[in-house]
Structures are given as C-alpha cells and as structure tokens.
Amino acid sequence: MMVAVTVVSCDDEPLEGVFSVTGDGSDPSEPDPDSETCQLAFDTFVAAQAAFSSATEANYSQACGAYATAIQATIQLCGDASGTLQATLTSLGDCSTPDPCFQAEINANAALGALNNASSDNEEQLCLAYSAALEAQIEACGDASGNIQATIDALNCGGDCAAAQVATSEAREIFNAVDPLDEDAYTAACADYSMALQTQIAACGDADGSLNAIVLDLGDCSPPEQDGPVQVTIGDVFTNFNTATVSISGSLLSVIATDIDTGDTFTFDIVLQQTGDNVMQNTTLTVGGVVHTASIEATTPFVNNITANDDTTIVGTFSGTFTNPDNEEVLTAGGVINIVY
C-alpha cells in the first residue's frame, strides 16, 4: 500500500513523498496467490466443489452454501483475475433450488482441471474420470450441439483402441464366469469389467451408447440380490422379501418374511400339511411401518393357493387387496411363496 506522508529528517528538514508500508510496494490487503492462506482457501474450495457436485436434493442447500462461502474466501485471499469464480458465485444464486445440470458442469470442469494437472502415473485414471463426468453432464444437461460428445470422442484415455477391445473382452469373460454368490469375486470382476468398458469408450468411442449402457447397468457393482422366499409386486413396485422365519406351535405355522432393505414384512399363519385355495390365515403386509390386512371383501379380493406344505417347505402363490386401518387399499400381484425351513 502506498501512502503520502511527511517525515522530518535528522536535520529537521521535512521529507515529503510516497512511501510503502510493506517494503515492496504491495497492498497488504491484496490477494496473494502464493500465500499459505490462499492455499488453505483453495483446498477448502476444492473440497466444497466436490461436495456440491455430488449433492443430492436433500443436502443441496447446505452444500451450495458451503461452496459459495469457499468461493468468496478464495476470491478474497487468492484473487479472481478472470472473473470465473465470481461468475460461478453469481450462478449459484440463493442456493434454494437444486440445479443438476449446473452441478454436472461444475463436476466436469473440476475433472478437466485435475486432468490438466495430471502426472504420468494418474493421467489415464483422471482422463477416464473426466470422460465419465462429461457423460454425466450429457445426461443432466443434454448435448444438442454434440460438442460434449465430440470432446469425449476426442479423448484418448486408454491408448490403443484394439488393445482396449481385447481387454474388455477378457474382462467380460471373467465377469460372466464369476459366481454371483461369491460377493468379493463378483465385485472385483464387475469393477474390472466396468473399468475396461470405460477405457474402451475413451479409446474407441461409443457411437450408439451401448457400452455406456452396460456401465450404467453394472452400477456400483454390488452383488445382485438373490430371489427371496417371498416375492410380490405391491402397487407397481416389485418387492423381494429376502428372509423368512417359520415358528411352529403345535400344528400351526407362523411365517414372517422380511425385506431387509426396507424392513417391510409379509406375515401369515397356516396349518401344517394344509394345501389348496385360500388356506393362509391372518395374512398381513406391513409397508413403511403401516400394517395392511388381507381383504376378501374388496373388489379384487385376496386369494392364495398353497401347493406344498410339509415340515420343511411351503410353496404357493397369492395376490389381491390389502387394507390399512383407514381402509385405504393396496393391491398386490404375482405373489410367490417358496420357503424352505
């Protein structure tokens, strides 16, 4: 900072002029991109940017507010000569309305920045991450001009296309051969297959989107859910009750089937060895904590048919209406029972 002052010399002669209070002529309040405080602000900005890019509708406002604060701090401590940060801050608005497209754009820009600063060790990984971010941007924002897809097609993350195709073929064979019940092996094979597909997309392109469709279908490579002992469509939602317990009291069997993902339950009683139509008793369906009771008086009455019922197995089908305490109806269809105990 430069200030005009009058100084009295040792000879009592006034010295007038402009002097610096920092010694180098700089303003102590000016942003300093090389300062430690700027680096700390930038690190916080990067973390807030990542959190904002992946924010859901539930935590959007909080993540957006933190991102806005981080941008302001970065501008103050590091500067913003290009005006890019201020433009981003303006685009955030009041953080009240989620904007998936803007989030995808921010994520893609961050991925590009990381790629531009990549080393030889992580360049391929960051290139694939940038390609994936661009794919997400297309999904969120569209790509009417085709420019984003052109950028993806121009990337060469995986090197030689032919080699990438061979790697994908090998990974696919391993994935198709793995036992889904071996969760660790399945997850590893799936992850390798997904990465091989992304490498092939980067190296060869994916004009019809078929490769990316497989990547999306693989998802996070969680092992596929196995068929549960009771399955049914409730309304228009298929529900897989993963577990079932059978309690025995004399000749009466009491069954509780549970969807371990939601906690919903399907329960009924049945007399051992009894088979045929409508032999299930006290049948209930609990969805979201609300108990629904099977109704035989509804327009679509609850019906069931048990074809096997011995001391190890209960097999049958069911469908029809359940009602809650407010007489609101829930329709089930295609119910299948295949319990081994």
What's the mean per-residue pLDDT of the chain?
Answer: 88
Average pLDDT of the segment spanning 309-329: 97
* 78 vs 80: CA distance, rounded Å: 7
List, in order, residues 6 or more apart from 126 with CB less than 8 Å away: 111, 114, 115, 118
Check whether 19 has a pLDDT greater than 50.
no
Check whether 162 has a pLDDT greater than 60.
yes
Kindly indicate the confidence band of residue 246, based on its pLDDT and cuts at 50, 70 and 90: very high
Helix and strand tally (H, E) in the chain?
Answer: 9, 13
pLDDT at 307: 98
> Residues 187-216: pLDDT tens digits?
999 999 999 999 989 888 898 999 999 999
pLDDT at 252: 97
Average pLDDT of the segment spanning 290-312: 97
Of 1-10, 97-106, 318-327, which gets the smallest average pLDDT?
1-10
Torsion from C-alpha of 328, 330, 331, 332, nearest 10 degrees: -150
pLDDT at 28: 45
* 97 vs 61: CA distance, rounded Å: 8
Average pLDDT of the segment spanning 267-293: 97
pLDDT at 29: 58
Kindly indicate the confidence band of residue 153, based on its pLDDT and cuts at 50, 70 and 90: confident
Q: Which of 133, 142, 220 is nearest to 183 (CA)?
A: 220
pLDDT at 32: 82
Percent of the chain with pLDDT over 90: 70
DSSP state of 274: -
Q: What are the backbone dihedrals phi and psi of residue 166, each rounded to the nearest 5 degrees, phi first?
A: -65, -45
Kindly indicate the confidence band of residue 159, based on its pLDDT and cuts at 50, 70 and 90: low
Alpha helix positions (H), 34-99: 36-53, 60-78, 84-92
pLDDT at 3: 37
In DSSP notation, 216-258 reads: HHHTT-PPPPPPPSEEEEETTEEEEE-EEEEEEETTEEEEEEE
Cα Rg of the chain (Å, integer): 32
pLDDT at 289: 95
* 90 vs 88: CA distance, rounded Å: 5
Q: Which of 215, 200, 207, 214 is nearest to 161 (CA)?
A: 200
Q: Which of 284, 273, 279 is nearest to 317 (CA)?
A: 279
pLDDT at 158: 57
Give domain limits for the chain. 36-139, 158-218, 230-340
* 274 vs 309: CA distance, rounded Å: 6
Residue 197 corresponds to which amino acid?
A: L
Average pLDDT of the segment spanning 18-39: 63
Check whether 151 has a pLDDT greater than 80.
yes
- For residue 105, the surrounding DSSP H or E stretch is helix 100-116
Residue with tokens 């993350």: 157
> Residues 37-79: pLDDT tens digits?
999 999 999 999 999 998 999 999 999 999 999 999 999 999 9
pLDDT at 11: 47
